[in-house]
């Protein structure tokens, strides 16, 4: 089950952090005190029309869902993913590969050896 970040305050806390920037996706991460991982996805109107933004969110959510079991269990983290224009035209596998690279510090050690 994916737990969403819904409060603006939480998004703003993450935006003050250093971002991992890619051509398809921008990722922010920070430890939380909840002990569970939460995720937030943002898509601006620069991305395109509503159906383009919805597709970008779907692709990002699915890539995170596949990556979630390999995230570390040591502590809870908040992740915010910001879609870029290229997110609407690329495949989910591309987003998954980039997300895996960006979240490498938060993955279990045994999974890093597999890639």
User: Looking at residues 19-30, what average pLDDT do you find?
Assistant: 94
In-domain check, residue 87:
yes
In-domain check, residue 70:
yes
Number of folded domains in the chain? 1
In-domain check, residue 114:
no
Range of the domain at 15: 3-106
27-82 per-position pLDDT tens digit: 999 999 998 999 999 999 999 999 999 999 999 999 999 999 998 888 899 999 99
64: closest CA among 85, 84, 80, 53? 80
pTM score > 0.85 for this model?
yes
Apex CA 106: angle with CA 20 and CA 87, to 5°? 40
DSSP one-letter string for 91-107:
-HHHHHHHHHHHTGGGB
Which domain CATH number covers 29? 3.30.230.10
Q: Taking 90 as the threshold, does the pLDDT of residue 110 lie above it?
A: no
Q: How far apart are CA 8 and CA 111, in angstroms?
A: 32
In-domain check, residue 112:
no
In-domain check, residue 81:
yes
For the chain, first and last CA: distance in Å?
24
pLDDT at position 2? 85
């Amino acid at each position: 089950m994916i737990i969403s970040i819904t409060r603006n305050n939480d998004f703003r806390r993450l935006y003050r952090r250093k971002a991992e920037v890619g051509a398809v996706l921008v990722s922010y991460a920070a430890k939380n005190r909840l002990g569970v991982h939460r995720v937030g996805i943002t898509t601006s109107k620069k991305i395109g029309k509503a159906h383009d933004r919805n597709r970008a969110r779907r692709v990002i959510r699915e890539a995170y869902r596949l990556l979630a079991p390999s995230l570390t269990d040591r502590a809870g983290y908040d992740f915010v993913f910001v879609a870029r224009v290229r997110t609407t035209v690329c495949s989910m596998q591309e987003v998954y590969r980039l997300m895996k690279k960006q979240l490498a510090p938060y993955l279990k050690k045994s999974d890093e050896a597999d890639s």
